[in-house]
Amino acid sequence: MPGFDEGMLQRLLNLSGGFDRISLAVHEGEAEAFRAVVDGLGLGAKTEIIEAPSGAALWPWAQDRVTVFENGGELHVLESADAGDYTGAAAALALRTGNRAASDRPQPGGNVLVDGKVCFVGADFGESRIDTARSTEIIACQPLERRGPIRFELTPGDLSWRQDIDRSIAADGSRQPVFHIDMFMTLAGTAPDGTPRIMLGDPAWASELIGLPLPEGFPLKAFQQIEFGLRLRGYEVMRNPLPFIYFDDPDAKLREWFYASANNCWVECDEAGGGRVFLPEYGFGAWTKLKASDEANATIWEGLGFEVIRGGDFLPLADQLGSLNCVTRILERA
C-alpha cells in the first residue's frame, strides 16, 4: 500500500475510529501483525480482520466486483463479463434474484455517487449502464484529448525532461477531466431552501492560492462545462480549491502531474443541513504551500455548518492518483 511506511494505515484507522465497525483485509499469515497495529491504536474491539488467500490481489484502491441496484422494486446485479469471475453469481444467489447482467467495463465506485433519490454517474462509466429507481444524472464534459508525456524545458534549452499532464484522464475521448468523479466532485447535503448542494473542485482557484500556474493544455474548460450543466439542472454548485501539482523523478527525467483532492473525502450529512466531513490534507513535505488550500477547504466546510475532521498527510496516496475515499469501501450506501 502506498504510504505504508509513512504511517498511512494508522492515519486511516484513526480517522475511522469514530465508526461502529472497521473491516481490514490482509493476507493469510499477516493477521497477527496487523492485529497488533489495531490493538496498539485502541481499536481492536471494533475491528474485524479478514484473512484473504496469500495469492489474492489486494490493491490500494477499492473496486467493486459487482453493482447491485433496485429497479421497479426488483434487485438487479451488474457483474463482470469475465467467465472466470463468480462474484456476481454469488451475489445474485445471496440476494435470491435471477436478474443479472454483465458489463465489459470495470465498476469503480468512484464513478457513481448516490445522494437520496439521485444517482450521479461519470460519463466514462457508460450512460446506459445504470438504470435504477433513482434519477440518474450523467456528469460529463466535451471529449478530451489524452496525450502521453511530452518534452518540456525544465531549464532553458534543456529538453531532456518529459511531463505527463494528462495522466488523470482515462483515455483519449474521455468525457471526464478526472477518471473518477469523486476526485473532483462532492455531494454536500442541501442548502437552507432544500436545494441539493454539490462541491466542485476549482483548479484555477487552487493555482492562485499556492502560486503554481496550471500547465499549458490543462482542461480547465471541462470543469466549467460540468458546473454549467449542474446549475442548469437545478443544483447549487459551490467551488473549492483543487490543486494540480507534480512529482519529479530525476532518474527517469519525468514530471508527473496529479490532483491533491480534498473532494475525495468522507461526508456525513444530518437533517439540519450540516454534519461531519473527513478531509485529506496535503500541505506536507515538499508541498508545504498546499497548507493554503487545506485551510481554505476546511473553512468552506465549516461555513456550511460541518464539523471538519482533518485527515493528515495524504500525499503518498495522491501521488498514486487517489485519496481518502479511493482506499476505502463503504458497504452500506445511501
- For residue 130, name the pLDDT band (cuts at 50, 70, 90): low
d(CA 83, CA 334): 30
Pick the closest to residue 236 from 141, 115, 130, 125 (CA basis): 115
333 φ, ψ (degrees, to nearest 5): -120, 135
- Sheet of 112-115, strands arranged across: 112-115, 118-122, 135-139
- For residue 112, name the pLDDT band (cuts at 50, 70, 90): confident
Q: Flag whether pLDDT at 290 surpasses 90.
A: yes
Question: Which amino acid is located at 168 in the chain?
Answer: S
Convert the pLDDT of each residue in 304-325 to its tens digit: 999 999 999 999 999 899 999 9
Task: State the pLDDT at residue 252.
Answer: 95
What average pLDDT does range 56-78 have in this prediction?
Answer: 80
d(CA 80, CA 113): 20
Task: State the pLDDT at residue 248.
Answer: 95
Separation in Å, CA 69 to CA 66, 189, 321: 10, 22, 28
Q: Flag whether pLDDT at 265 surpasses 90.
A: yes
d(CA 279, CA 242): 13
Listed in order, strand segments (DSSP E) in the chain are: 22-27, 47-52, 67-71, 74-80, 100-103, 112-115, 118-122, 135-139, 150-152, 161-164, 185-190, 196-202, 236-241, 244-249, 254-259, 266-269, 275-281, 306-313
Q: Which long-range contacts (CB under 8 A, 24 or more apart) does 303-306 make?
A: 304/188, 304/189, 304/197, 304/238, 304/273, 304/274, 305/272, 305/273, 305/274, 305/275, 306/267, 306/274, 306/275, 306/276, 306/277
Convert the pLDDT of each residue in 185-215 to its tens digit: 999 999 999 899 999 999 999 999 999 999 9
What's the pTM? 0.86
In whole numbers, what is the pLDDT of the chain averaged over residues? 89
234 burial via Cβ count (<10 Å: 0-12, 13-18, 19+):
exposed
The least confident of 123-127, 152-156, 306-310 is 123-127
d(CA 181, CA 121): 8
Q: Flag whether pLDDT at 235 surpasses 90.
A: yes
d(CA 235, CA 93): 38
Q: Going by DSSP bridges, is the β-strand pair 22-27/47-52 parallel, antiparallel, or unpaired?
A: parallel
Domain ranges of the chain: 1-58, 64-107, 109-334
